[in-house]
Amino acid sequence: MLRLLRFKTAIVILVLGCNISAGQTSQAGSRKQLPSAEIVSEWTSLVDDLAAKDKFSGTILLARDNEVLLKKAFGLASRRFDVSNNVKTKFNLGSMNKMFTAVSVLQLVQQGKLSLDDRLSKYVDESWLPREITDKIQITHLLSHTSGLGSYFGDKFANTSREFVRELDDYKPMVADEKLAFEPGTRWQYSNTGMFILGVVIEKASGQSYFDFVREHVYKPAKMADSDCYDMDKPVKNLAIGYFKKDNERDWSNNLYRHVIRGGPAGGGFSTVDDLFNFSQALLKFELLDEEHTKMLVTPKPNSPGYGYGFEIEQTPAGVVVGHGGGFPGIHSKLEIYPDAGFTVIMLSNMDRTGSPVVNKIRRLITGNQGDGSDGADAADKKLTIALSQATRKSEQWHDIAYRLAFFLAYTGKHERYRELCNQTLADFSETTSLSLAERTVKMCLFSNVATTNLTSAGKIADRIYADVDKAGTFDWGGDVPFQPYLALAKGIAELRRGQYESAIKVLQTAKDFSQLDRHSACSRDSYLAIAHAKLGNKTKSAELLAKVEEIVDDFPPIHFERNPDWHDRVIVDMVRDEAQGLLKN
* Domain edges within the chain: 2-367, 377-585
Amino acid at 385: T
Alpha helix ranges (H) inside 412-472:
415-429, 435-446, 455-466
The superfamily CATH assigns to domain 2-367 is DD-peptidase/beta-lactamase superfamily (3.40.710.10)
333 three-state secondary structure: strand
In the chain, the N- to C-terminal Cα span, in Å, equals 67
CA 517, CA 355: separation in Å to the nearest integer? 10
pLDDT tens-digit profile, the chain (586 residues): 434 444 554 454 444 333 333 333 334 444 456 788 999 999 999 999 999 999 899 999 999 999 999 999 999 999 999 999 999 999 999 999 999 999 999 999 999 999 999 999 999 999 999 999 999 999 999 999 999 998 877 667 666 777 777 888 888 888 888 889 889 998 888 888 999 999 999 999 999 999 999 999 999 999 999 999 999 888 999 999 999 887 656 688 898 887 788 989 999 999 999 999 999 999 999 999 999 999 999 999 888 878 999 999 988 878 899 999 988 889 999 999 999 999 999 999 999 767 878 988 898 899 875 544 445 788 888 889 998 998 888 888 899 999 999 999 988 888 889 988 999 999 999 999 888 899 999 999 999 887 656 788 999 999 999 987 776 665 544 445 677 889 999 999 999 999 999 999 999 999 876 655 577 888 899 999 999 999 999 999 999 998 888 877 766 777 777 666 778 888 888 899 889 988 887 7
CA 447, CA 465: separation in Å to the nearest integer? 17
Tell me how many degrees the CA angle 523-526-527 measures, rounded to the nearest 5: 85
CA 224, CA 273: separation in Å to the nearest integer? 10
- Name the residue among 392, 368, 496 with its Cα closest to residue 22: 392
- φ/ψ of 364, rounded to 5, equals -65, -40
* 115-121 LR contacts (CB < 8 Å, sep 24+): 115/139, 116/140, 116/143, 120/197, 120/201
The topology under which CATH files domain 377-585 is 1.25.40
> What count of other Cβ atoms lies within 10 Å of the Cβ of residue 478?
23
